[in-house]
Amino acid sequence: MRKADVLLGLQWGDEGKGKVVDVLTPEYDAIARFQGGPNAGHTLEFNHEKHILHTIPSGIFHPDCLNLIGNGLVIDPVVFMEEAERLAAAGARVRENLVISVKAHLILPTHRLLDAASEQAKGNDKIGSTLKGIGPVYTDKTAREGLRTGDIQRDDFESIYRIHRDRHLAQLQQSDLSYDLEQLEKEWFEAIYYMRSFKMGHTDYLANNLLKDDKKILAEGAQGTLLDIDFGSYPFVTSSNTSCGGLCTGLGIPPNKVGRVIGISKAYCTRVGSGPFPTEQTDKTGIRLREQGHEFGSTTGRPRRCGWLDLVALRYAIMLNGVTELVITKADVLSGFDVLKIATSYRVNDELTDQVPYDLTSVSEPVYQEFPGWTSDISQIRHAHELPHEMKEYLRFIELHTGVPITLVSVGPDRAAMIRLTD
Ligand code: IMP
């Protein structure tokens, strides 16, 4: 029986996973999402057009690829409808090639309001949530009070909805948030009726049967390992398991059926929202990385915080996920820097450590190794032997200090801007 491969972000999200999935999709029969929801924004670029996906897997533009939305996802019907319509207009076979798990959870309009109220109440300590309702919907899921996509086929769906809504409204009474619930509900129910015409099913059986039939599945993670609810920089994290275990619980693939684990990391580091970020550069280096890398959130448009590559955090993410190969993205963004830096250890309480501490804010400073930069524009390079010597040295250092081979390097947003280093 075949094993499912998985592709995951190893940082704080935005590693460029959508593009890598899109490039790898021709090798696969099915692409599956297993956690997260509309907080994700996977960007794909081809034929000079940019497409952003929030809920639908990144294999949707390939006409023969099946796309699965696993049980671990949380779906906002309004976001889903807008996305499905947009993709269909761009020529994607959304109705034919997409199956939604009946066990995925639904984001209600009041989940979004609760998210906003929770952030408002936290003031300066806010998480910097995308305000898509992620925290409240996963809270309801674990409290065993959620609504699932399978419920939308029930005759009494509207009355069950009202029970959940009223429970949320009681919680919202403590906030001074203003909202027009009637309008939000109108849009939401319109989107629910729209979703009813899509294929829904048992993606757990479907995925396992595909493997039995020797079909190839690639599971596409959302967010990144450092945002994992258990292993991330808690409480500044998202509410799902973004690391490899999320594949087992969010799609129904057993651990012994996990094959390649493809880890994605930018050549530097970014973070959007609040929370500790040891290698963040708030000076002109950070501004330059943001400008050269166009580092603005694809879901919220917020400017991303930027800094040097953090090998302490990267090695932790590799360990947690069992990464078998690395893909380095946005390497072209580093062109033109005289000196590049990589953090190899942290100073915590005057001691050096190469482990991620319990509290990431306890890192007083990262210890850096410096590298000479390269001046040439590498965005048009397509073969490894043409890369500048300095860049090869930079990549070799990452391989050496993580013990994992780099198989692909991305040097631009387009599908074609990808260099294969090893098979
Ligand atoms: P939430 O998942 O919307 O609750 O946001 C929690 C934290 O995760 C915030 O710091 C967000 O900025 C961050 N986050 C959530 N989704 C993404 C993503 O897809 N990319 C990058 N950061 C994300």
pLDDT tens for 110-138 read: 999 999 999 999 998 899 999 999 999 99
pTM of the model: 0.96
For the Cβ of 223 lying below 6 angstroms from any atom of ligand 1, the answer is: yes
pLDDT tens for 358-403 read: 999 999 999 999 999 999 999 999 999 999 999 999 999 999 999 9
Q: Tell me the mean pLDDT in the region 314-330.
A: 98
pLDDT tens for 57-66 read: 999 999 999 9
3-state secondary structure of 69: strand
Question: By C-alpha distance, which of 224, 227, 319, 232 is closest to 8?
Answer: 224
The atom of ligand 1 lying closest to the CA of 115 is: 4
For the Cβ of 410 lying below 6 angstroms from any atom of ligand 1, the answer is: no
Any residues with CB less than 8 A from the CB of 307 and at least 6 apart, and which?
268, 269, 270, 277, 278, 279, 280, 281, 285, 286, 289
Question: Which two structure tokens, joined as six digits, stand for 398?
Answer: 């990452």
Is 105 tagged catalytic? no
Say what angle helices 181-195 and 109-122 make with each other, to 10 degrees. 130
* For ligand 1, atom 20: residue with the closest CA: 13
Read off the DSSP letter of residue 302.
P
- In the predicted model, is pLDDT for residue 423 greater than 80? no
> Minimum mean pLDDT among 46-50, 58-62, 119-123, 260-264: which range?
46-50
pLDDT tens for 178-232 read: 999 999 999 999 999 999 999 999 999 999 999 999 999 999 999 999 999 999 9
* For ligand 1, atom 10: residue with the closest CA: 273
Q: In the structure, what pLDDT confidence band is assigned to residue 314 with cuts at 50, 70 and 90?
A: very high
Q: Does residue 75 contact residue 113 with C-beta atoms inside 8 Å?
A: no
